[in-house]
Amino acid sequence: MSEKIVINEVGLRDGLQMQPVFVPTARKLELARALREAGIHSFEVSSFVSPKAVPQMADAADVFAGLPALAGVDYWALVANEKGYERAIEAGAGKVGLVLSVTETMNRRNINKSVDESAAEYTRILDRCARDRVQNRVYLAVAFACPYEGKTPAETVVEWTDRMLTAGAGEIALADTIGAGAPAQCEDLLALLLRHWPAERFALHLHDTRAMALTLAWIGAQHGVRKFDSSIGGLGGCPFAPGAAGNVATEDLAFMFEASGFDTGVDMAGLRRAVGVAEAITGLTLGGRVTRFLQSREPDTH
């Protein structure tokens, strides 16, 4: 039996958050349905943050309310503080992600707090997760490089991994927020982290700014990582990280792993249809690097 790769689809949140035109709730739910039909079973649905800061996420509670409860399908909410956590739980989210930027400048630009201040609040949230039996993950943003402070020292990532796991984090998602990670850096960082913790405690969240995302994902898989974030059609970017391009495309990630003998559980034709939905709701031309190849294999209907 092939080893399982879990693809966590972040297109609904990370993918849409920078879109200048608001995508109605019904269209977001349409995209979620298309992705489920393609075999995606894990979603980062929305973020419970200030609508003034991220207007696209203003309907987070409505999106959660419109999602069907399905066995084996996970819906995640992103929160940045205790108020956001309370809103997420009230909306019915049973899984939450917390984003901690590991550099001072980025964390202040992102949520207007020092890293220590955020860590203290997240420790309280993680305590509440334990009491409320809410699954959680902590994203370590700019784990490879910061747009303001440059390359992130691996020792900094190790320090914050230790602090967040000790505080009760269920898993750590290493985020290449601006897509500046390099293969050798990824090798070294994972080797250092895996001296202390097992690979199943980690996920990778990769952006494809410099065309390195698939390479970094493969390195992660070779080190035993089995959870990866991606966005349909390569949608995405961070409003607080200049130069951040879209996330690694879900179709590229799935194709690479399926071609390499892993089981992602997704249907490539279904993903192509989901890309079409994403294009329709955003007005953008989307698609990963494998798009032309997949198009060449589609039957000619003319």
- The residues carrying an active-site annotation are 238
CA pair distance 173, 200, nearest whole angstrom: 11
181: which 2 tokens? Answer: 């990670």
Closest CA to 74 of 88, 98, 95: 95
Buried b (16+ CB within 10 A) or exposed e, 42-62: bbbbbbbbeeeebebbebbbe
Burial of 191 (0-12, 13-18, 19+ CB in 10 A): exposed
CA pair distance 109, 64, nearest whole angstrom: 27
Task: Return the bridge partners of 175, or none.
Answer: 205
DSSP 183-211: HHHHHHHHHHHTTTS-GGGEEEEEB-TTS
Contact present, 134 and 96 (Cβ < 8 Å): yes
3-state secondary structure of 265: coil
Kindly give the pairing relationship between strand 145-146 and strand 150-151: antiparallel
